[in-house]
Structure 1
Amino acid sequence: MTRVFLQPDDLRDLVADQFGTDRRVAALDRLAGGSKKGVYRLGLDDQATAIVYVWAAGENYWPPAPAVPDDPFTDASGAELFAAGHAALTAAGVRTPRLLVLDRDGRYLPADLALVEDAGGMTLETLMEQDPAAAATPLATLGDALRRMHTTRGSCYGKLAAIARGEAPQDRRTEDIIKDRALGHLDASATRDTRLADAHDRITGHVRHLHGEVTAREEYGLIHGELGPDHVLVTPSGEPAMIDIEGLTFFDVEWEHAWLRMRFGGAYSALHPVELDPKRLEFYRYAQILSLIEGPLRIADTDFPNRQWMLDLAERNITKALTAI
């Protein structure tokens, strides 16, 4: 598809309404990294800045794919989910860029839009690479925030907006959803890679074995869903601020920690995690490996601008999946 991104003049009315008619757009830069929504840094003529999120078909690189119907991590994008996630984090005392405007009525664009605080361009990932000592305090603060989230309990699992509407399905155990999700990812990936096709039965057996070791649970914690150090900004004052919050969900906290262990590596222990079920953690870790094969291979078939990065990510996880069996 032909992608058309925002131009400065597209935000003229937004700027006039929110900042005053005497302010002008001096710069509009589309930031790298977004694959489901457009993320832009808006610069004004008085040097002030803000961030604009746009949820539009032309900003979403992900092609559709078969999904488990009650999978709460499917299609975790959109202004409604963003608003629900922002409210939940604020209630839990977790720092995220301040929401200035949320427009779901097409007042400014033929798409949903949010205007948020510009919390800075430094991610925790970059700070950890460039100055590990300076990253220690934001890491500890992030760990405190995660404990507040993960001890915010709910009796239902699912997307926050669906729970609020009373529409979150609750007729299955969470680990059953993840089993079906993992096997679906395997089936899709096996059509793209002969190594996975050859190992399909052995991987399926491994998934079923890990699933069989997990015991039932009926209480869930508030989780981000895919939190890595690239999804945390470090503000100029040194505070960690979570971004990409549309996937905020009530689910098993082991899902979050399987992801955190993978993404934070040796710095994971600095987050001081809550008590976890090791068998559920291991099952979810392997399911995420299969997810990180299927998703990257699927988006690599599109016009996503960093296709090789996705292929390399899939290759690393193919190695992990095969090594485990």
Structure 2
Amino acid sequence: MPADRARERAFPVREHLGGIVRDAFDGRRTLRGAVRLRGGSKKGVYRLVLDDGSTAVAYAWDESENFWQPAAGPGPDADDRRDPFSPASGLGLFVAAHRRLTDLGLRTPHLHWSDGSRRRHTADFAVVEDLRGPTLETLIRADPAAARPVLGRLAEGLAAMRECRDPAFGKVALLDEGGASRGVSCERIVLDRALADLAEASQRDPRAAAAGTALHDALHEAFDAVSPRADHSLVHGELGPDHVLVDDRGRPVLIDIEGLMFFDIEWEHVFLELRFGPHYAALRTGGLDARRLALYLLAMRLSLVAGPLRLLDGDFPDRDFMTGIVEHNLHEARKLVGLGGDGPQVY
């Protein structure tokens, strides 16, 4: 879809933000203005300016705010929370994750109000604290010295999450309700997802198709080397430095938490290392399974090819950024199976 289609999208939930403010603050506040913040791809994120000059942030879960297109062929079902990798979007997932992280003592934006009844509003909404501090990604680039203690506090939070364990795996909201995930193990779910991602990417990019046999065989070989595991740790699932805000006391604040789940800790750390790069050293931990890391690294690369390619089928606005993610991760996936790579390295 051409890039200029992004400018055509309407966001009808804007019309409801005044009512959201009245409900969230029991009629004590009115809306003076609202700005849709960049970055959200599954939900709308709006900064609300209130009549007393204070601000808050509204999250809106509505189809008009979701830039993702359905997967081609087998893949995560958006309505099936039994799949740990079904799209991490929805008020129920957010509230359960917020409660679990808060109980562990981890900082997330304070939740003022939420409503998923749809009796008064057309979408599911939450109103949370507006944190104006930078993302950890911005702080690392602007002032690495100031970022070091924040990274240290983030490492402490990750350690607390690792020690929060469950014999089951899956989304926190599902397990809290007594549900059970589909699949026999984390590693099998990752393998099946990676094979689906490879098939989907191969349909869209000839370089992925050309490497298909080598990537397919490498995935199976890595899977066969993994031994069973009895319990699982709490993981964010997509914890890059752009998903960590820094508050005015220098504390890391986790955002985009809907994907919180119990899973293999190696899945989290593969993503951390990819996204934090040289700063991952501050977050590194011992006792990780090298064989799981190998499987999950290749699977993660393929996920970061297929997912952005799907997003580019729609009208996601920051197309150059998404194209860069595809190019880099396809290059790296091919390198992992000894095929070299093509394209610029921009991610």
Give the one of 43, 47, 52 matched to 1:37: 43
1:3 aligns with 2:15: no
Q: Secondary structure at the match of 2:316?
A: coil
The total of aligned residue pairs comes to: 325
Whether 1:125 and 2:137 are equivalent positions in the alignment is yes
Match of 1:90 among 102, 113, 131: 102
- Offset from partner CA, 1:59-118 (integer Å, 9 cap, x none): 000011131575402211100000110011011111100111010112552010000111
Paired residue type of 1:246 = E
Please give the alpha-carbon distance, in whole angstroms, between the structure 1 residues aligned to 2:13 and 2:184.
46
Question: CA–CA distance in 1 between the matches of 2:11 and 2:76?
Answer: 32
Q: Counterpart in 2 of 1:13? A: 19
Query: In the alignment, which residue of structure 1 is the partner of 2:32?
Result: 26
Once residues 54 and 244 of structure 1 are traced to their aligned partners in structure 2, the CA distance between those partners, rounded to angstroms, is 13
The alpha-carbon deviation at position 135 of structure 1 amounts to 0.5
Q: Any residues of structure 2 matched to 1:213-252 within 5 Å, and which?
A: 213-252=225-264
Query: Quick check: 1:276 aligned with 2:288?
Result: yes
For residues 16 and 31 of structure 2, what CA distance do their matches in structure 1 show?
10
Deviations 1:264-283 (A, max 9, x none): 11111112425211111121
Q: CA deviation at 1:299?
A: 0.6
The match for 2:340 is: none
Aligned to 2:128: 116
Q: 1:274 to 1:224 in 2, by over 3 A?
A: farther
- The alpha carbon displacement at 1:210 in A equals 1.0
Whole-angstrom CA distance in 2 between matches of 1:320 and 1:105: 44
Letter in 1 for 2:110: R
* More divergent stretch after superposition (267-276 vs 282-291): 267-276
Aligned counterpart in structure 2 of residue 72 of structure 1, from 66, 77, 84: 84
Give the counterpart of 1:60 among 63, 66, 87: 66
Residues 237-292 of structure 1, C-alpha deviation per residue, up to 9 Å, x if partnerless?
21110000000000000000000000011111112425211111121011000000
Residues of 1 paired with 2:313 and 2:50: CA distance?
37
Question: For residues 131 and 167 of structure 1, what CA distance do their matches in structure 2 show?
Answer: 44
C-alpha separation in 2, matches of 1:171 and 1:102:
32
Q: Secondary structure at the match of 1:191?
A: helix
Give CA-to-partner distance per residue, 1:196-238, whole Å, 9 cap, x none.
1111111101111111111110200000001000000001221
Gaps of 5+ in 2: 338-347
Cα pair distance change 1:289/1:272, threshold 3 Å: closer
Q: CA RMSD in A?
A: 1.7
| Separation in 1, partners of 2:13, 2:214 | 51
The one-letter amino acid paired with 2:269 is H
Partner AA of 1:129 in structure 2: R
Q: Distance in 1 between matches of 2:279 and 2:100?
A: 26
CA distance in 2, matches of 1:7, 1:112: 10
Identity across the alignment (%)? 46
Q: Give the corresponding residue for 2:342.
A: none
Q: Counterpart of 1:26 in 2: which secondary structure?
A: strand
1:9–1:75 distance in 2 versus 1, CA, 3 Å = closer
Secondary structure, counterpart of 1:275 in structure 2: coil
Q: Distance in 1 between matches of 2:27 and 2:179?
A: 42
* 2:111 is the counterpart of 1:99: yes
**Contact kept? 2:169, 2:262, Cα under 8 Å:** yes
> Which residue is 2:325 aligned to?
313
AA aligned opposite 1:149: M
Q: TM-score, normalised by structure 2?
A: 0.89
Gaps of 5+ in 1: none
> Partner of 1:162 in structure 2?
174
Deviation for aligned residue 1:7: 6.8
Partner of 1:290: 302
User: What SS does the aligned partner of 1:86 have?
Assistant: helix
How big is the shift at 1:293?
Answer: 0.3
- From the superposition, tell whether residues 20 and 80 of structure 1 become closer, same or farther in structure 2 (CA, over 3 Å): closer
Moved more, 19-28 or 289-298: 19-28
Displacement over 6 Å in runs of 4+:
none
